[in-house]
């Protein structure tokens, strides 16, 4: 005959998944009800994992059926899983003195990502923020030239490197640490290590924000960064053409999979301003990024036109925001920087979850890719 005592004794043989102790010893059994050959069991556990709950329910059912129960009803109460909003507040951080990290990415090259990063950084610095600029585009480090410091060697202090300061921004790039024109024929693991060193071994001051200019695409560099520091937000740079937007969608999807809040999309080459008439022409199209932004629940943070001054400033190391602040392009960069800072403040107010939830996995081609798993609950380690 089934009794509460016989059921409780059998539950004492049911191990908590992953542990040697049973659920009775842990104190997880909260209620037992026996009516004839029908048994009701309620347990309350500390894990929010659905897999743990399902395994425990199956094990309890099997155990009670083995002592003659015809019907077993099991209720497993669990805490709600954490809501993964971002990786911006906790987890691994190898540069804890930097308050905010902004990843600037693009799905493909040639869309003006580095030009955008440089001018946004200078614009935010001109608005009174302490700003750093890390060139993580290991294979194509163009920021030293655009910042006018291509011939400046950084100062070594012990085992650390001081960033180069230009236009009110602290800057470091692999291009400043190697001979000009030298190629880097590196595998992904070396690129990942280099990015970690650029974050850890550079004497960044207590920055309000560090802009990180990423290589194009969605590979090792992006995953390494997301696992090394709590990225506050991401910006995706694109041009209006559909071929660029296709790759931009992949970058936005990457931000979501890495739990990085998307600040917005910068639509670069959005119109052409004729220097003779100041009239704007939509030679590549304009406004095509808005439907994509809506799809990912974000905004177009800025529409930057083509102006000869941008190209000239980039080649000469004289960024348009600093040297031509009254230009239409500079004004739009300033507006975008202000909007970006408002978004950063909002993200920090809302908080986020750990970047320890971001784990590397192996893709179909054997290369590294990213997946995210829920952060374990406290208590018994599950």
Q: Domain of 355: which CATH number?
A: 3.40.50.300
Smallest Cα–Cα separation from 252: which of 289, 221, 296, 302? 296
Tell me, yes or no, whether 317 lies in a domain: yes
Contact 23, 16 (CB under 8 A): yes
Tell me, yes or no, whether 84 lies in a domain: no
pLDDT averaged over every residue in the chain: 81
Select the more confidently predicted residue: 62 or 271: 62
User: How far from chain centre, in Å, is Cα 255?
Assistant: 5
Residues 263 and 364 in one domain: yes
Contact 239, 106 (CB under 8 A): no
371: pLDDT strictly greater than 50? no
Tell me, yes or no, whether 90 lies in a domain: no
4: pLDDT strictly greater than 60? yes
The pairing of beta strand 280-281 with beta strand 300-306: unpaired
Contact 368, 254 (CB under 8 A): no
Residues 57 and 108 in one domain: no
Residues 23 and 143 in one domain: no
Tell me, yes or no, whether 156 lies in a domain: yes
Helices 113-126 and 328-350 sit at what angle, rounded to 10 degrees?
80
Q: How far apart are CA 223 and CA 355, in angstroms?
A: 11
Residues 35 and 107 in one domain: no
Q: Locate tokens 């031509």: which residue?
A: 324
Non-local CB neighbours of 269 within 8 Å, separated by 6+ positions: 111, 112, 239, 240, 284, 304, 305, 306
Q: How many Cα atoms occupy the beta-carbon half-sphere of 61 within 13 Å?
A: 12
Non-local CB neighbours of 190 within 8 Å, separated by 6+ positions: none
Q: Tell me, what's the pLDDT at 186?
A: 56
> Could you tell me if residue 126 is left (phi over 0), alpha (psi between -120 and 50 degrees) or otherwise beta?
alpha
Smallest Cα–Cα separation from 304: which of 109, 103, 115? 115
Give percent of the chain with pLDDT exceeding 90. Answer: 39
Residues 209 and 173 in one domain: yes
Residues 248 and 316 in one domain: yes
Residues 228 and 121 in one domain: yes
Question: Across residues 160-189, what is the average pLDDT?
Answer: 77
Instruction: Please name every residue paired with 101 in a beta bridge, in sequence order, or none if there are none.
Output: 210
309: three-class secondary structure by DSSP: helix
Residues 14 and 136 in one domain: no
pLDDT digits (tens, 9 = 90+) for 52-108: 899 999 999 999 999 999 999 999 999 876 544 444 444 567 788 888 999 998 877
Give the domain CATH number at 43.
Answer: 3.30.300.130
354: pLDDT strictly greater than 80? no
Tell me, yes or no, whether 382 lies in a domain: no
- Other CB atoms within a 10 A radius of the CB of residue 276 amount to 5
Select the more confidently predicted residue: 300 or 271: 300
340: pLDDT strictly greater than 50? yes
Range of the domain at 308: 101-370
Split at pLDDT 50, 70, 90, the class of 380 is: very low
Q: Tell me, what's the pLDDT at 188?
A: 57
Residues 71 and 149 in one domain: no
Q: Tell me, what's the pLDDT at 168?
A: 94
Question: Across residues 1-9, what is the average pLDDT?
Answer: 91
Q: HEC states along 167-233?
A: CCEEEEEHHHCCCCCCCCCCCHHHHHHHHHHHHHCECCCCCCEEEEECCCCCCHHHHHHHHHCCCCE
Residues 44 and 192 in one domain: no
Residues 196 and 276 in one domain: yes
Tell me, yes or no, whether 376 lies in a domain: no
Tell me, yes or no, whether 86 lies in a domain: no
Helices 4-11 and 50-65 sit at what angle, rounded to 10 degrees?
130
Q: HEC states along 115-182?
A: HHHHHHHHHHHHCCCCEEEEECCCCCCCHHHHCCCCCCCCCEECCEECCEEECCEEEEEHHHCCCCCC
Tell me, yes or no, whether 381 lies in a domain: no
The last residue of a domain, from among 77, 93, 121: 77
Select the more confidently predicted residue: 358 or 206: 206
Select the more confidently predicted residue: 380 or 63: 63
Q: How far apart are CA 361 and CA 352, in angstroms?
A: 23
**Burial, 184: exposed, middle or buried (Cβ in 10 Å; 0-12, 13-18, 19+)?**
middle
Contact 319, 166 (CB under 8 A): no
The last residue of a domain, from among 45, 61, 77: 77
Q: How far apart are CA 147 and CA 117, in angstroms?
A: 11
Residues 69 and 120 in one domain: no
Number of domain units in the chain: 2
């Amino acid at each position: 005959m089934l009794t509460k005592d016989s059921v409780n004794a059998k539950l004492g043989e049911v191990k908590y998944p992953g542990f040697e102790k049973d659920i009775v010893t842990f104190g997880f059994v909260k209620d037992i009800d026996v009516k004839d050959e029908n048994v009701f069991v309620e347990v309350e556990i500390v894990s929010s994992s659905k897999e743990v709950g399902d395994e425990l329910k199956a094990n309890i059912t099997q155990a009670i059926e083995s002592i003659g129960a015809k019907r077993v009803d099991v209720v497993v109460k669990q805490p709600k899983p954490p809501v993964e909003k971002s990786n911006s507040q906790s987890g691994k951080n190898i540069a804890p003195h930097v308050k905010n990290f902004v990843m600037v990415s693009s799905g493909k090259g040639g869309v003006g990502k580095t030009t955008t990063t440089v001018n946004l950084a200078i614009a935010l610095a001109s608005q009174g923020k302490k700003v750093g600029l890390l060139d993580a585009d290991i294979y194509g480090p163009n920021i030293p030239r655009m910042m006018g410091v291509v011939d400046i060697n950084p100062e070594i202090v012990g085992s650390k490197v001081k960033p180069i300061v230009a236009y009110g921004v602290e800057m470091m790039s692999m291009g400043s640490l190697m001979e000009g024109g030298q190629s880097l024929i590196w595998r992904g693991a070396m690129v990942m290590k280099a990015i970690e060193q650029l974050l850890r071994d550079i004497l960044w001051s207590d920055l309000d924000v560090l802009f990180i200019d990423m290589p194009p695409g969605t590979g090792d560099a992006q995953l390494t960064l997301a696992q090394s520091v709590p990225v506050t937000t991401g910006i995706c740079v694109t041009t209006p053409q559909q071929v660029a937007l296709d790759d931009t969608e992949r970058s936005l999807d990457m931000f979501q999979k890495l739990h990085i809040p998307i600040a917005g999309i910068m639509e670069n080459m959005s119109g052409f301003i004729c220097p003779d008439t100041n009239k704007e022409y939509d030679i590549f199209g304009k406004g095509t990024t808005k439907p994509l932004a809506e799809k990912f629940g974000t905004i177009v943070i800025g529409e930057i036109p083509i102006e000869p001054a941008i190209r000239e400033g980039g080649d000469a190391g004289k960024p348009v925001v600093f040297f031509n602040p009254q230009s239409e392009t500079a004004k739009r960069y300033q507006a975008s920087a202000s909007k970006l800072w408002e978004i950063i403040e909002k993200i920090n107010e809302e908080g986020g979850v750990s970047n320890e939830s971001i784990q590397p996995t192996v893709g179909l081609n054997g290369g590294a890719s990213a997946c995210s798993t829920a952060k374990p609950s406290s208590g018994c380690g599950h």
